[in-house]
Amino acid sequence: MAIDEGKLKELLKSAVIEALEERRDLIKGIVEEAIEDLALASAIERGLNTDSASRDEVFALLENTQ
């Protein structure tokens, strides 16, 4: 049985749309994870381009936030 390419694309498109509509929670989780990963990567990049802080400086900052 042969399926033409256009019909296959249409079937796949329909299946993806249906999955997205039925599993919004899954898609939301994936998008949230991706945003968190991007934010973490950005923070790491910024951290690599700044001066290091001593252990005492870090703990002093943490104590001031409580």
Instruction: For residue range 3-62, list pLDDT tens digits in order.
Output: 789 999 999 999 989 988 888 888 899 999 999 999 999 999 999 999 999 999 999 999
Tell me the C-alpha distance between 11 and 4, whole Å. Answer: 11
Q: Are 20 and 27 in contact (CB under 8 A)?
A: yes
Q: Are 42 and 49 in contact (CB under 8 A)?
A: no
What confidence category does residue 2 fall into, taking pLDDT thresholds of 50, 70 and 90?
confident
Structure tokens that stand for 13 in this block: 């498109």
Per-residue pLDDT at 1: 64
Count of domains forming the chain: 1
Neighbours of 27 (CB within 10 A): 13
Q: Are 12 and 20 in contact (CB under 8 A)?
A: no
Residue ranges making up the domain that contains 19: 5-64
Q: Which pTM value belongs to this model? A: 0.53
